[in-house]
Amino acid sequence: MTAAGTVPLPAAKDVRDMLTGLVGKPVNVTPGAPVTPAPDRPVSVAVYVDPHMNVNALCLMDLGASAYTGGALALLPPGGCQDAVEEDGELTGMQIEALHEVVNVLSALFNAEGAPHSKLHKLYAPGEDLPGDLAGMLAAFNRVDLAIEIPTYGKGALSLVLP
C-alpha cells in the first residue's frame, strides 16, 4: 500500500515476476549494487512520467541488463547480445528497440492503486547523454538496486529510482 498520490518502489519479487513473464525464462533477481553511469560504464535510463509530465520514476540498466533483457524478449541470439556487452560496448538498433519494449512494460511496476499513472516518456540508450536535471536524480536515495541473470544470456544490474 502506498500513500495517496505517491509512486511505489517495486519489490525485487515484483521485478523478477515481471521480467520472467516478459522474457519467458526464469530470471534470477537478487539485491545488487547501484547502477550509475560512468564514461567506461554506459547505462540505459528509462524515464517515466505522470499525467502532468512530471518525472516520477527512473529505471537504470547497465549494458548487460540492457542487452540481455531486450535480447531475450526479442529472441535475439545470446551470442550477439554478449558481443554487444563484452566487445562492442554498445547496443545495436534492434537491441535498443527491444529494450524500449522492456522498459515500456516495466512501467506497470509503478502503477499501484492510488498512485499517479506512470508511463514511459523516453529511453536514453547506453552511452547517450542525459539532461542535467535527470543526471541529478540518478543518485536519489529512494531506490531498489538489483542484480539480474537471464538464462543463456547473462548477468546485469538494474536500479529503480524514485526522485
Residues 43-53 have pLDDT tens digits of: 999 999 999 99
Among 6, 87, 101, 83, smallest CA distance to 44 is for: 101
Mean confidence (pLDDT) of the chain: 93
Assess if residue 62 is contained within a domain. Answer: yes
Domain that holds residue 80: 12-161
Assess if residue 103 is contained within a domain. Answer: yes
For the question of whether the overall pTM of this predicted structure is more than 0.75, the answer is yes
Indicate the residue type of 100.
Answer: H
Residues 93-140 have pLDDT tens digits of: 999 999 999 999 999 999 988 889 999 999 999 989 999 889 888 888
What stretches of the chain show up as alpha helix (H) in DSSP? Answer: 12-23, 63-73, 78-83, 93-106, 132-137
* pLDDT over 60 (residue 3): no
> What distance in Å separates the CA atoms of residue 63 and residue 101, rounded to the nearest whole number?
16
* Residue 88: per-residue pLDDT: 94
Assess if residue 22 is contained within a domain. Answer: yes
Residues 51-74 have pLDDT tens digits of: 999 999 999 999 999 999 999 999
Kindly state the average pLDDT of the residues 1-20: 82
| 79: Cα separation from own chain's centroid | 21
* pLDDT over 50 (residue 147): yes
In total, how many domains does the chain have?
A: 1
* pLDDT over 50 (residue 1): no
Assess if residue 4 is contained within a domain. Answer: no
Assess if residue 96 is contained within a domain. Answer: yes
Assess if residue 2 is contained within a domain. Answer: no
Assess if residue 1 is contained within a domain. Answer: no
| CATH code for the domain in which residue 129 is found | 3.40.1550.10
| 77: Cα separation from own chain's centroid | 20
